[in-house]
Amino acid sequence: MAVQNYFLPQSVDEAVELLAAHGDSLLVMAGGTLTMPLINDGISAPEKVMGLRQAGLNYTGMANGSVILGATATLSQVIEHGHIPMLRQAASSAASWTIRNMGTVGGNLFAPPPAGDLAVALLALDAELNLHSARGSRSVPLADFYKGFMSTVMAKDELLLEIEVPAPLGRTAYVKYGRKHSHTPSVVTVAAHLVLDDGLVTKARIALGAVGPHPLRAQAAESYLQGKTLSESHIASAASIASEECEPFTDAIASEWYRRRMVKVYVARMLQQIAAEEASS
């Protein structure tokens, strides 16, 4: 089966009308870095494809103290105009320049693990998603977006329009640990965002990538840190808790066992980095 229809809507309204009219049979494509290889290899054979490149969603900006990322802003645009250092770092760590010039912020949220490096940073930053359909718009925290592997709360007639990222109040730390320094899939990705008051943690976000069916928050570790100092023993305990609560898998990159071990190592390192910055400020 070859693609029979290719739609290139010129606005969001046109795009959601097409989705409402064609429903399930319409494949949404943004940068195409994930979808096109599947079509080329015959793994996916959609009858109808809708490209989002001219729908007016490739912008980045600021509004009310938050960073606004249009769903089809590319990873390269985030590196250039990302405003938040952790977002720039995360986008820089994903794939190669060629993929980053095509791949979009929105598409990254749908990338199966071990991909989704930007999504991990967005989770730690409490990003909110604007989902839109012909029925209207709704806002969903990224933390509530994923239901399972390649499964989200998005309805079939909805499009991801925009991502709103509140400017982080405290300190952030991000690492993508892979087998190579660049152009490499993740063994584990860790994004931490902590707010401290008088040495005590008042807000903790620890997001993990490549160790679950989708990017996830280490919520038990976050709760453990609440109200505590960033002492070596608290950091070690939080890292252990995170490594126990994640759900790693084995693939060609790393085993489940190794990924779990690396969660412990890299969560501890991110927390130590934040503790050191806090101590020297």
Ligand X SMILES: Cc1cc2nc3c(=O)[nH]c(=O)nc-3n(C[C@H](O)[C@H](O)[C@H](O)COP(=O)(O)OP(=O)(O)OC[C@H]3O[C@@H](n4cnc5c(N)ncnc54)[C@H](O)[C@@H]3O)c2cc1C
Q: Rounded distance, CA 28 to CA 9, Å? A: 11
Which of the stretches 25-33, 163-171, 190-198, 235-243 binds ligand X when contact is defined by CB under 6 A? 25-33
- 221-229 long-range Cβ contacts below 8 angstroms, 24+ apart: 221/245, 221/267, 225/194, 225/201, 225/271, 226/201, 226/202, 227/200, 227/201, 227/202, 228/200, 228/201, 229/199, 229/200, 229/201
* Residue 34 touches ligand X, criterion: CB under 6 A: yes
List the one residue out of 149, 177, 173, 174 whose CA is nearest residue 261: 177
* Residue 60 touches ligand X, criterion: CB under 6 A: no
Among 84, 117, 125, 235, binds ligand X (CB under 6 A): 117
* Residue 262 touches ligand X, criterion: CB under 6 A: no
List the one residue out of 78, 55, 217 whose CA is nearest residue 146: 217
Touching ligand X, residues 134-163 (CB under 6 A): 159-160
Touching ligand X, residues 73-112 (CB under 6 A): 75, 94-95, 99, 102-104, 106-108, 110-111
Chain length of the chain: 281
- CA distances (Å), 274 to each of 102, 172, 192, 223, 267, in order? 33, 7, 9, 17, 11
* Residue 31 touches ligand X, criterion: CB under 6 A: yes
Compare residues 117 and 164 and give the one whose CB is closer to ligand X. Answer: 117
Compare residues 50 and 267 and give the one whose CB is closer to ligand X. Answer: 50
Q: Least distance in Å: CB of 241 to ligand X?
A: 25
Q: Least distance in Å: CB of 101 to ligand X?
A: 10
Q: What is the distance of C-alpha 85 from the center of its chain? A: 15
Compare residues 109 and 218 and give the one whose CB is closer to ligand X. Answer: 109
Which residue minimizes CB distance to ligand X? Answer: 107
Residues that bind ligand X in the complex, under the rule CB under 6 A: 28-35, 37, 52, 71, 75, 94-95, 99, 102-104, 106-108, 110-111, 115-117, 159-160, 185
